[in-house]
């Protein structure tokens, strides 16, 4: 099943916070088997690496009306949880069952505590003999790994960066604290994220690490990535576009028209100053009102190899940092005598920005029209300081 077009996931996200009738109609429209496949895919992704002291096969029955869609999950110590057919092997002692609407809401609905009766567990008659207690304990640990993945608890962003081997924390960069400070307020919303730069460098290294990190950080989000290198593998809630330069305005506009508007855009691409400036000017208008645009690794503004100066300071108008400095003037355009006449789209829709040492800068889009300081306020000091 391919999720590259996000059609199934978008339908799930639309109905997850709605009323029961809308949700059940969505399941009927797409089919219980199709919806369940997407839910199981998400469930497997969210499972932590098990520390269970063995291997167990846990049955999962998803119920929808008279339908029962059955899956088997393989939980092995130290390995990712996978979907499996045990082929004659006994299950680990229990089968977990959940109604499709309940499982869908727990995975993709607004945050809420788990209520009693949300799922059922049945013990299987295979726990006999001297290993009964050991087998039951293993089954309990394995089942807990799977059940915990349906909760609203999301690990801290720095842990997610380490888990998926993203470079945004723990090595050269220390970005996750900045990201969490600005994005935690929308963490549980149905957001759309675009990251420019997937990584992997023509398959020399694993790609998509930060896309997986964002997928886990935003449990209700859709994540999109673009890169100059070919990396079009897609997984549930993550779509990748490739073989295009971020300084190609037409390509970037097509991405925005197809997948936007976005709640968050992250430029972790080439880090070439001209590319960063082009991407910002093209993509900032495709942020939703209240969205964030983040530029990483702006320290390349000081590196000649990336279009920085050969001297000690950034020359005006050529680097990403000089662009950021200019945005401060843009935020305050209403205070300039010619501000209203000369303000461009970005000035009228940028309400704030944050810059961090050698790391990243973020800009927030919203309507920037508060009227300015009234003319009744003197433009010169009214006291005599002589």
Annotated ligand binding at 239? The verdict is no
Predicted structure pTM score: 0.87
Q: Quick check: bond before 261 cis, omega within 30?
A: yes
Q: Do the beta carbons of residue 301 and residue 319 sit within 8 Å?
A: yes
pLDDT value of position 91: 55
Is 134 part of any known ligand binding site?
no
The catalytic residue among 6, 71, 173, 271 is: 271
Looking at residue 289, what is its pLDDT?
Answer: 92
Which pLDDT band, with edges at 50, 70 and 90, does 311 fall under? confident
Q: Which is more confidently placed, 202 or 360? A: 360
Decide if 271 is catalytic. Answer: yes
* Residue 210 among known ligand-binding residues: yes
69 is in an annotated binding site: no
* Higher pLDDT among residues 89 and 215, named by residue: 215
How many other β-carbons are positioned within 10 Å of the β-carbon of residue 376? 5
- Write down all domains in the chain, each with its CATH number in brackets: 7-148 (3.30.1050.30), 157-365 (3.40.50.150)
Does position 360 have pLDDT exceeding 80, yes or no? no
Q: What is the mean pLDDT of residues 305-312?
A: 83
User: What one-character DSSP code corresponds to residue 235?
Assistant: B
Check whether 297 is labelled as a binding-site residue.
yes
Higher pLDDT residue, 217 or 95? Answer: 217
Q: How confident is the model at residue 4 (pLDDT cuts 50, 70, 90)?
A: very low
Average pLDDT over residues 195-223: 81
| Top-confidence residue, 318 or 91 | 318
Report percent pLDDT > 70 for the chain: 78
- Which residue has 């009234």 as its token pair? 374
Residue 326: strand, helix, or coil: helix
Give the chain's mean pLDDT.
83
Q: What is the mean pLDDT of residues 208-237?
A: 83
β partners of residue 282: none
Backbone angles phi, psi at 213, to 5 degrees: -60, -45
CA distance 318 to 309: 9
pLDDT tens digit string along 246-292? 889 999 999 999 999 999 999 999 999 999 999 999 999 999 999 99
Flag whether 195 is marked binding: yes
- Calculate the dihedral angle through the C-alpha atoms of 371, 373, 376, 378, rounding to the nearest 10 degrees: -160
Higher pLDDT, 49 or 6: 49
Place of tokens 């993509």: 283
Kindly give, in sequence order, each residue whose CB lies less than 8 Å from that of residue 242, ignoring residues fewer than 6 positions away.
198, 226, 227, 228, 229, 230, 231, 232
Q: According to the annotation, is 200 in a ligand binding site?
A: yes
Spatial distance between the Cα atoms of 164 and 190, rounded to a whole number of angstroms: 22
pLDDT at 370 over 80: no
> Smallest Cα–Cα separation from 202: which of 237, 168, 242, 175?
242
If pLDDT is split at 50, 70 and 90, which confidence band does 123 have? low
């Amino acid at each position: 099943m391919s999720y590259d077009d996000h059609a199934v996931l978008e339908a799930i996200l639309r109905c997850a916070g709605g009323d029961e009738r809308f949700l059940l109609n969505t399941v009927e429209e797409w089919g219980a088997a199709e919806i369940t496949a997407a839910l199981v895919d998400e469930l497997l992704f969210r499972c932590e690496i098990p520390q269970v002291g063995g291997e167990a096969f846990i049955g999962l029955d998803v119920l929808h009306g008279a339908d029962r869609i059955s899956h088997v999950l393989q939980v092995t110590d130290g390995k990712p949880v996978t979907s499996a057919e045990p082929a004659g092997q006994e299950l680990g002692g229990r089968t977990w069952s959940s109604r499709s609407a309940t499982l869908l809401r727990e995975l993709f609905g607004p945050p809420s505590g788990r209520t009693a009766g949300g799922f059922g567990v049945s013990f299987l008659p295979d726990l006999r003999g001297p290993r009964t207690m050991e087998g039951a304990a293993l089954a309990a640990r394995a089942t807990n790994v799977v059940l915990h993945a349906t909760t609203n608890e999301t690990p801290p962003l720095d842990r997610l960066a380490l888990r998926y081997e993203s470079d945004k924390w723990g090595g050269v960069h220390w970005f996750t604290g900045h990201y969490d400070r600005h994005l935690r307020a929308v963490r549980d919303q149905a957001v759309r994220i675009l990251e420019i730069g997937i990584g992997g460098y023509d398959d020399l290294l694993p790609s998509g690490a930060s896309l997986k990190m964002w997928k886990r950080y935003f449990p209700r989000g859709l994540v999109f990535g673009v890169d100059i290198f070919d990396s079009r593998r897609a997984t549930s809630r993550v779509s990748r576009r490739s073989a295009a330069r971020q300084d190609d305005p037409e390509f970037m506009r097509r991405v925005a028209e197809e997948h936007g508007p976005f709640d968050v855009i992250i430029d972790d691409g080439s880090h070439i100053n001209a590319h960063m400036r082009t991407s910002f000017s093209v993509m900032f208008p495709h942020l939703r009102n209240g969205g964030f645009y983040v530029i990483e690794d702006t320290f390349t503004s000081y590196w000649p190899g990336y279009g920085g100066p050969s001297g000690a300071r950034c020359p005006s108008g050529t680097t990403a940092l000089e662009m950021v400095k200019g945005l401060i003037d843009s935020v305050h355009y209403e205070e300039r005598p010619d501000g209203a006449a000369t303000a461009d789209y970005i000035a009228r829709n940028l309400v704030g920005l944050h810059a961090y040492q050698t790391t990243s800068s973020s800009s927030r889009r919203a309507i920037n029209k508060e009227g300015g300081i009234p003319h009744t306020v003197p433009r010169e000091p009214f006291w005599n300081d002589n």
